[in-house]
Amino acid sequence: MDLNRAIDGWCRKVHPRGVQHEEQIAELSDHLHCEIEALLACGHDQREAFALATERMGAPAELADEHRKNGSLLARMCRTVQEADSALMVPIRRHLSPKAASAVLLAVSLFAAGLMLLSGWLLPDFVNATYLILAAWFVPFHLLSVRSGEKAPTEGSAGA
């Protein structure tokens, strides 16, 4: 078993977007190394030690949620849109032909463009128009993200 690789892989489940999270990955990685070293000293083999240490850390999905709470509003919105985008694209790719999928994406783009024009016409004040676009864009994506989260398999409880 390549322990370093396994630890790094586990940490990246908690912080999937690498570059800005390298420091947080290094911190989690140090913790796992400490725990695994202690377990190895108690007589566990590498595989057992890794399994026990990661179990004590908690479920990566729940830890990722906790870390997300610390992010800025913009970072949280970007993440939500990213998740919702995947939730939207997976069924489109699975169920539709490439031509139909392109049509759906074109429709979504036209909807967004229409929304921008409409907001500019209805709300000439720039700030209010921006808020309207953000709300109209973000709310459906947020709902999609929540829906995809509900469908995702859970990995157990992280405890307190």
Partner 1 sequence: MPLSKNLVAASATPIILGLLRRGDSYGYEIIANVRDSSGGALEWADGMLYPILHRLEKQGWVEAYWGQSEAGRKRKYYRLLKAGRVELERQRKAWNETHALVQRMTGRLA
Of 40-48, 56-64, 87-95, 113-121, the segment contacting partner 1 by CB under 8 A is 56-64
What tokens appear for 128 in the block?
A: 């209010």
Determine, following the binding rule CB under 8 A, whether residue 48 of this chain makes contact with partner 1: no
Q: How far apart are CA 75 and CA 143, in angstroms?
A: 17
We find the least distance from the C-beta atom of residue 32 to partner 1, in angstroms, to be 9
- 14 or 144, CB closer to partner 1? 14
Q: How far apart are CA 12 and CA 106, in angstroms?
A: 33
Q: How far apart are CA 115 and CA 133, in angstroms?
A: 7
Task: Kindly determine how many residues on this chain lie close enough to bind partner 1 according to the rule CB under 8 A.
Answer: 25
Q: How far apart are CA 74 and CA 155, in angstroms?
A: 27
- 72 or 97, CB closer to partner 1? 72
Residue 26's alpha-carbon distances to 15, 49, 108, 125, in angstroms, are 11, 19, 39, 46
Determine, following the binding rule CB under 8 A, whether residue 158 of this chain makes contact with partner 1: yes
Nearest to 116, CA basis, from 100, 97, 136, 142: 136
Site for partner 1 in 64-103 (CB under 8 A): 66-67, 69-70
Site for partner 1 in 4-23 (CB under 8 A): 14, 23
Determine, following the binding rule CB under 8 A, whether residue 63 of this chain makes contact with partner 1: yes
- 31 or 115, CB closer to partner 1? 31
Widest Cα–Cα separation across the chain: 71
- 10 or 141, CB closer to partner 1? 10
The binding site for partner 1 (CB under 8 A) comprises: 14, 23-24, 26-31, 33-35, 37, 56-58, 62-63, 66-67, 69-70, 158-160
